Structure 1
């Protein structure tokens, strides 16, 4: 078994219920694998993406989707109206619909409902025939491709799932498509793995509750990778308490960013965390966009949700929570690799950053719930 992303599939779980996982850390390999899955579909293809750009990357996948739609398959695309604004134009949408693709744009601007525009569909999900599912941080755009964007392509992680969880992902897409944004499977656990939305009818902050529970019960390590680190008070408290009881707590975020105010807000928390023993790193080579959380050896998550207010309280997200030993081992290896390319923030240096930088941090902190 290959332990690196883009290699062989992780070993399936034992027992009657089996899921097989494959991890991707390069967009070109992911997009090629998605295209192969689309070409082999026989019944239906469901695609949700916050950013779906009709550029060099997206145009190829859209062509494959239109071909399958013309062959009579049920092809549905759900994009976020804001995230895909300007990169999936009206002309592109007309072409898709002319090919028979069913297309929905989530929360387009409406003067009658202006506040809903703040709540976005941030999911990235492809499901083919209810048998294969892809979920993670990669959007569909050239920024994820070394071939088209170059060495500075975004650093991200995605996972392919074959097995019963793909069927749940299929049902989650279908419910959201039909307007039930809070639907969740009645029995969401499949072999100690779940794909969960962040909000359900039973719990408005389901993902946050799951994270908080794991942080509170950690006994060895908490390793977090996120491009936007803007945790609420309760999650910051759990990180601090874990570090104070001797847990190895490491936060890996990004030096290069596409949201300067979010970075200001993140840096406003550094001093508190450093003073209590949390280690903070900023990934330096390129923009880190992966969303991974590892607690001890047995629990890991990878998905679309950042560690911030918007993902945990406002937007719609999907996250794979897994106790698969092989998958979590791969995620740990990738985390360690990224740490080698990161700069550790030290408490002494951070105390002498200067007044202006501190003022920016304060501004970001004031805006943290809107970033």
Structure 2
């Protein structure tokens, strides 16, 4: 990856350089992406896609709960494996590895599903356990793929969990992007190195979007650079939703710079975070963001788990990555980036809906917080790279 230094007038600024390197040159898409914001609707669509599969199914998830939702997926996947399809399930050993999952695993394997844990604890390589597979991906026949923030669990279901269900966002993509999703799945399945550069073309005119992993051979900080690059190029607005936000990151600094030059920058985060220390780390970023002119909102009615970005009502990012240290620099993640006014419009409309259920935190509010809040923020700041 080339390195630029902002110095003399004949050199590009750091922001211009980052935008040129890290933001793909995408053509305008035409609304080919289906957006999901309700778990029941998404789960029904995913199960229907599994039931209609004729060749192969690949699925990975950070959390795959041993509950009613998980049971639906286990039954559907096992049925397809028994029918002779190539069915593979790759789950994170930390996020999905609860003791109750043993019954589900036996049902999957007895049905003929190929099953793997992503990086179970190995005392010979204990540090590898620190990196988790945080992706949520389902690929059917290499032609349809679902990705985003939804895990497989009843917490996302209004039918099962009620009005307090978790708020999240997911997408369905088709065609070449689904084929690329299969390659991303295969790479982790075989614990292989990053995809070759040709799998993520730098010149992408005419491509409706790109599936971008945590890192590539060109850049070990691909997601951080992508977010910061899009923020750098913003002219009118940047609307971000993230359950967790990492203070002191390149994304944090890009938001402050954009707000100072007059861009309408807004950040939506949950009022309550799980774990609590992650929320303390997020709030440790509030002071500098608010001072720079960033508007911060805390979502009130239910848990917030969506990870979305909309820039200038044209560019969108949707996927599994939070805007914190672990997602941007450690975990395995996958996002879609697209220049699609239809998708951006839908995400922006949802953003307005979410803000109506949120409370804005002003700089005056922030200055009035007590000593306990300040202490918790200090703890969060210290722990920000471990969360």
Cα gap change, 1:184/1:321 in structure 2, threshold over 3 Å: closer, same or farther? farther
Whole-angstrom distance in 1 between the partners of 2:317 and 2:308? 6
Whole-angstrom distance in 1 between the partners of 2:80 and 2:249? 47
Conserved 8 A contact 1:47-1:76: yes
Whole-angstrom distance in 2 between the partners of 1:263 and 1:305? 16
Whole-angstrom distance in 1 between the partners of 2:226 and 2:82? 42
Instruction: Give structure 1 regions of 4+ aligned residues with deviation exceeding 3 angstroms.
Output: none
Cα gap change, 1:34/1:88 in structure 2, threshold over 3 Å: closer, same or farther? farther
Question: Would you say 1:256 and 2:268 are equivalent positions?
Answer: no
Question: Would you say 1:38 and 2:50 are equivalent positions?
Answer: yes
- Normalised to the residue count of structure 1, the TM-score between the two structures is 0.93
Whole-angstrom distance in 2 between the partners of 1:182 and 1:351? 45
Conserved 8 A contact 2:180-2:199: no
Whole-angstrom distance in 1 between the partners of 2:303 and 2:207? 34
- The CA deviation string for residues 46-69 of structure 1, in whole angstroms up to 9 with x for no partner, is 000000112111100110000000
Q: Residue 312 of structure 1 aligns to a residue in which SS? A: helix
Q: Offset of 1:26 from its aligned partner?
A: 0.3
Question: Would you say 1:166 and 2:178 are equivalent positions?
Answer: yes
Q: Answer with 252-261 or 28-37: which moved more.
A: 252-261
Q: Residue 20 of structure 1 aligns to a residue in which SS? A: coil
Whole-angstrom distance in 2 between the partners of 1:251 and 1:19? 25
Whole-angstrom distance in 2 between the partners of 1:79 and 1:124? 9
Conserved 8 A contact 1:46-1:170: yes
Q: Offset of 1:258 from its aligned partner?
A: 1.5
Question: Would you say 1:59 and 2:71 are equivalent positions?
Answer: yes
Match of 2:331 in 1: 315
- The CA deviation string for residues 87-145 of structure 1, in whole angstroms up to 9 with x for no partner, is 65223212211111000101101111111111000000000000100000000011111
Match of 1:363 in 2: 379
Q: Offset of 1:164 from its aligned partner?
A: 1.5
Q: Offset of 1:14 from its aligned partner?
A: 9.4
- The CA deviation string for residues 176-216 of structure 1, in whole angstroms up to 9 with x for no partner, is 21112522561434624100101122211111111111111
- The CA deviation string for residues 249-270 of structure 1, in whole angstroms up to 9 with x for no partner, is 0000001222210100111111
Q: Residue 293 of structure 1 aligns to a residue in which SS? A: strand
Q: Residue 307 of structure 1 aligns to a residue in which SS? A: coil
User: Match for 1:90 among 93, 102, 110?
Assistant: 102
Match of 2:37 in 1: 25
User: Match for 1:291 among 284, 298, 307?
Assistant: 307
Cα gap change, 1:222/1:184 in structure 2, threshold over 3 Å: closer, same or farther? farther
Conserved 8 A contact 1:158-1:303: yes
Conserved 8 A contact 1:194-1:322: yes
Q: Offset of 1:233 from its aligned partner?
A: 3.4
Cα gap change, 1:337/1:181 in structure 2, threshold over 3 Å: closer, same or farther? farther
Conserved 8 A contact 1:133-1:162: yes
Cα gap change, 1:19/1:332 in structure 2, threshold over 3 Å: closer, same or farther? closer
Match of 2:82 in 1: 70
Whole-angstrom distance in 2 between the partners of 1:181 and 1:346? 45
Question: Would you say 1:330 and 2:342 are equivalent positions?
Answer: no
Cα gap change, 1:14/1:275 in structure 2, threshold over 3 Å: closer, same or farther? closer
* Aligned counterparts, 1:192-271, within 5 A: 192-271=208-287
- Normalised to the residue count of structure 2, the TM-score between the two structures is 0.89
Whole-angstrom distance in 2 between the partners of 1:14 and 1:323? 7
Conserved 8 A contact 1:49-1:125: yes
- The CA deviation string for residues 220-254 of structure 1, in whole angstroms up to 9 with x for no partner, is 11110000011443222211111111000000000
Conserved 8 A contact 2:31-2:343: no
Name structure 1 gaps, 5 residues minimum.
Answer: 1-12
Whole-angstrom distance in 1 between the partners of 2:251 and 2:348? 21
- How many aligned positions are there? 358
Name structure 2 gaps, 5 residues minimum.
Answer: 1-25
Conserved 8 A contact 1:25-1:155: yes
CA RMSD for the aligned pairs? 1.7
Conserved 8 A contact 1:123-1:304: yes
Q: Answer with 62-71 or 210-219: which moved more.
A: 210-219
